[in-house]
Amino acid sequence: MGVVSTLLARRWRTIQLMAVVALAVILITGALDLNGHTSRAITAATYSPFYLLKTSVLELSQKAVESQQLREKLVDASVKLSLLEEARRENARLRSILGFEALSGFKIIPAKVVAVYGFELPTAALINRGWKDSIFVDQSIVNQEGLVGRVVAVSADFATVQLLTDPLNRVAARVAASREMGIVRYLTTGGMMLDNFPVQGTIEIGDQILSSGLGGVYPPGLQVGTVVSVERPEREPFCTVKLSPAVNFHSIEELFILRPDTL
């Protein structure tokens, strides 16, 4: 045993050299594919986390695209639904307009509201008709609900309408039942009122108020409003009469100009 140990100790460097040479020959000849195994091991250990990260990013990106497409489809469906609902409402308005007839002696010229003016309540509107359509100042404007106002300014293609809600506007009016008269005006704080109606006059809640035709601006018989309250103050010559307007001035869209047949 001692002899072997001594021999190994003397030949150890030679044995190491021979082992290195043998390993090199094996690697060079490809007898053992250590390079491939090592390369694959290193590649797997290094690339695998990045591959997983790339896969996750691609999946998240695809989900984001699908989510965006779903949102676009939802918006598109919502817009189409809104357009269909608006078409239904317009259809209902047009059906009611078809039953509207002009007063005797007048033609009705349809017009579209393109702008409204006012703060809390519209007091003026711009319509898409002008002197090219034989529209002139002081022509009456109505819709299927009743009297809307009058033309106060005209250009070639447009006209400005002073609405009954303008405090400067006045309408000579009468009670439909009793035929007694007063003046309709609009107060910014009190709403539509019937002024100059005598305390002895006959008027009740629910009475219809019509244009009287006096003054030459508005033709007679147009719906102006409905009586909602009547106060008869003592020692005062006139009643305090509050009206509900016949027209909803917050939703005017399709209007008509009353043009005399003679034009």
Residue-wise pLDDT for 168-195, tens only, equals: 999 999 999 999 999 999 998 889 999 9
Phi, psi of 11 (to 5 degrees): -100, 10
| Burial of residue 129, with CB atoms counted within 10 A of its CB: 0-12 exposed, 13-18 middle, 19 or more buried | buried
Residue-wise pLDDT for 73-109, tens only, equals: 666 565 566 556 655 655 555 555 555 555 677 888 9
What H or E segment, with its residue span, contains residue 240? strand 240-245
Closest to 256 in 3D by CA, of 89, 98, 112 = 112
* 241 and 182 Cβ atoms separated by less than 8 Å: yes
Q: Collect all residues with Cβ–Cβ distance below 8 Å to 38 and sequence separation of at least 6.
A: none
| Cut 0.85: pTM above it | no
Structure tokens at 126: 């711009």
Closest to 219 in 3D by CA, of 193, 248, 249, 256 = 256
**What's the mean pLDDT when you consider all of the chain?**
80
Bigger pLDDT: 211 or 70?
Answer: 211
Give dist(CA 186, CA 182) in Å, integer: 13
Task: Flag whether pLDDT at 230 surpasses 70.
Answer: yes
Give dist(CA 208, CA 223) in Å, integer: 7
User: Within 10 A of 228 (CB to CB), how many other CB atoms are there?
Assistant: 14
* 134 and 148 Cβ atoms separated by less than 8 Å: no
- List b or e across 136-167, with b for residues whose CB sees 16 or more CB atoms inside 10 angstroms: eeebbbbbbbbbbbbbbebeeebbbbbbbbbe
> What are the structural domains, with CATH classification, of the chain?
106-164+253-260 (2.40.10.340), 171-245 (2.40.10.350)
